């Protein structure tokens, strides 16, 4: 009986010590639960699985469509390339309509998922979990590669529509971002979201106070002129530079037109070569995810741009020797070079720009600034994809890859000087760095954000 009363008294004491911010005072944790944070980011990133399939579908599907006698593709059609709309299409016009529907949907997915995956995790996990959308884009691309390699282009459309169904199921479980709740003045929901994400024993008092203080300092109301204020202008320009770096590297050209590039380069069994590039993308995107919180963002970007720049230059020489001087190099040269280029692209250029685009901005303007950056990114992407086939026809493939190679190498030099390291820093600490530049203390702020 005494032991029972002692246990009851101990239980009552623990209950009294349980604060409103979650967790027992006797068992408070300084680090949150990883599994729920991981699950939330995985659930949201499922949307990017479909977005990746949209990007990669043409790589394997275009060669298959060219073999379909009912579909006639011109150079302009290839440049422009809802899943069901495409699958049921009877002519090129309907296919293009389906691609437009898919493109519109992916624009919303690109805006929402990176922001969510940057706001939900703790600082120690934000690099890895913040890259989850990019990893799932890679999975989606590989899904489209596999579907296009082993099935007809129509069947591949049905296969690529599956991730959307899964996304709608799992999104009912995860909470909204605590930052979003805080911006809307919903403190109770914000605490509930943090408690779900971090676990019941995690003491998020200091984290919540830091979030509140920063939101109070920058304001809750979204003002578009904030994009050009000193504290936002520099991160916004960095974000635009990172989007430019991603697109001018030529990585997306290799991803979207993989099958056609292999055919033009004389690679035998181009379908399996496309599948090989998909495997490479998974491996090196995963390596990027594992390394970003260990090595940092800036080193990965520099190594990535240098690698893809050198590989594109070698590929340019291959096409120059083959098409201009009629000197044939072994067919393994373009295969290996393209695989190295895609590996370099996935090691940093594909994923890190998306992560930095969400890390650099203050809470109030983050969604708006990220949307503006993504709009610029997608506009540049569609421009390059549109110009590429005509540019290749007019000046030759060697000129195309020489251009991408030189721009990538130039971008690596610029990135060294302008991209700050955000590894291990909270979103509030990153904001403090950019706010310090207003008072002329950029050097001190730069050292702070780099942990020196």
Could you read off the pLDDT of 109-126 as tens digits, one per residue?
777 888 888 888 888 888
69 CB-near residues (< 8 Å, 6+ apart): none
Where are the domains positioned within the chain?
32-449
Q: What is the pLDDT of residues 138-186, one digit of tens each?
A: 888 888 878 877 777 778 777 877 887 788 888 888 899 898 898 888 9
User: pTM of the entire structure?
Assistant: 0.71
Hey, how many other C-beta atoms are within 10 angstroms of the C-beta on 317? 17
Question: By mean pLDDT, which of 41-45, 77-81, 220-224, 371-375 is the weakest?
Answer: 77-81
Look at residue 327 and give its three-state secondary structure: coil
- pLDDT, greater one: 287 or 77: 287
pLDDT of residue 304: 96
DSSP string over 385-410: HHHHHHHHHHH-HHHHHHHHHHHHHH
CA distances from 56 to 59, 151, 213, 254 (A): 6, 15, 43, 10
Question: Can you read off the two tokens belonging to residue 418?
Answer: 């302008």
Q: State the chain's mean pLDDT as an integer.
A: 79
- Percent of the chain at pLDDT above 70? 76
pLDDT of residue 444: 41
pLDDT of residue 93: 67
Banded model confidence at residue 39, pLDDT cuts 50, 70, 90: very high
Among 287-291, 347-351, 407-411, 434-438, the range of highest mean pLDDT: 407-411
CATH number corresponding to 32-449: 1.20.1250.20
The answer on pLDDT for 187 being more than 50 is yes
181 CB-near residues (< 8 Å, 6+ apart): 187, 189, 190, 193
Banded model confidence at residue 441, pLDDT cuts 50, 70, 90: very low
- pLDDT, greater one: 244 or 368: 244
């Amino acid at each position: 009986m005494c032991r029972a009363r002692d246990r009851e008294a101990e239980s009552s004491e623990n209950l009294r010590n349980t604060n409103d911010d979650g967790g027992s005072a006797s068992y408070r944790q300084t680090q949150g639960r990883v599994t729920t944070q991981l699950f939330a980011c995985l659930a949201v990133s499922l949307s990017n699985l479909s977005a990746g399939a949209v990007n990669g579908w043409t790589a394997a599907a275009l060669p298959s469509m060219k073999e379909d006698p009912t579909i006639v593709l011109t150079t302009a059609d290839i440049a422009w390339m809802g899943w069901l709309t495409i699958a049921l299409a009877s002519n090129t016009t309907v296919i293009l309509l389906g691609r437009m529907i898919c493109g519109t949907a992916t624009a919303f997915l690109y805006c929402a998922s990176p922001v969510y995956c940057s706001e939900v995790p703790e600082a120690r996990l934000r690099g890895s979990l913040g890259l989850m959308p990019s990893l799932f884009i890679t999975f989606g691309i590989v899904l489209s590669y596999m579907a296009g390699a082993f099935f007809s282009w129509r069947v591949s459309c049905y296969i690529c529509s599956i991730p959307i169904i899964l996304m709608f199921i799992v999104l009912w479980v995860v909470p909204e971002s605590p930052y979003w709740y805080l911006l809307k003045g919903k403190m109770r929901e914000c605490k509930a979201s943090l408690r779900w994400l971090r676990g019941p024993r995690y003491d998020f008092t200091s984290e919540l106070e830091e979030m509140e203080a920063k939101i109070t300092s920058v304001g809750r109301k979204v003002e578009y002129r904030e994009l050009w204020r000193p504290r936002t202008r520099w991160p916004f320009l960095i974000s635009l530079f990172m989007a430019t770096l991603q697109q001018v590297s030529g990585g997306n050209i290799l991803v979207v037109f993989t099958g056609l590039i292999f055919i033009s380069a004389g690679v035998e069994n181009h379908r399996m070569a496309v599948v090989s590039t998909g495997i490479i993308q998974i491996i090196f995107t995963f390596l990027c995810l594992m390394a970003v919180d260990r090595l940092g963002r800036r080193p990965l970007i520099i190594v990535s741009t240098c690698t893809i720049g050198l590989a594109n230059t070698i590929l340019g020489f291959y096409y120059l020797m083959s098409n201009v001087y009629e000197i044939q190099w072994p067919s393994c040269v373009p295969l290996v070079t393209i695989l190295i280029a895609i590996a370099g692209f996935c090691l940093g250029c594909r994923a890190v720009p998306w992560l930095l685009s969400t890390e650099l901005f203050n809470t109030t303007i983050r969604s708006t600034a990220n949307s503006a950056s993504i709009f610029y990114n997608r506009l540049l992407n569609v421009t390059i994809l549109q110009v590429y086939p005509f540019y290749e026809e007019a000046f030759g493939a060697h000129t195309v890859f020489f251009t991408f190679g030189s721009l990538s190498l130039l971008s690596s030099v610029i990135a060294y000087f302008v991209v700050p390291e955000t590894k291990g820093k909270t979103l509030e600490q990153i904001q403090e760095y950019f706010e310090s530049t207003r008072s002329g203390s950029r050097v001190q702020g730069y050292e702070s954000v780099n942990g020196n």
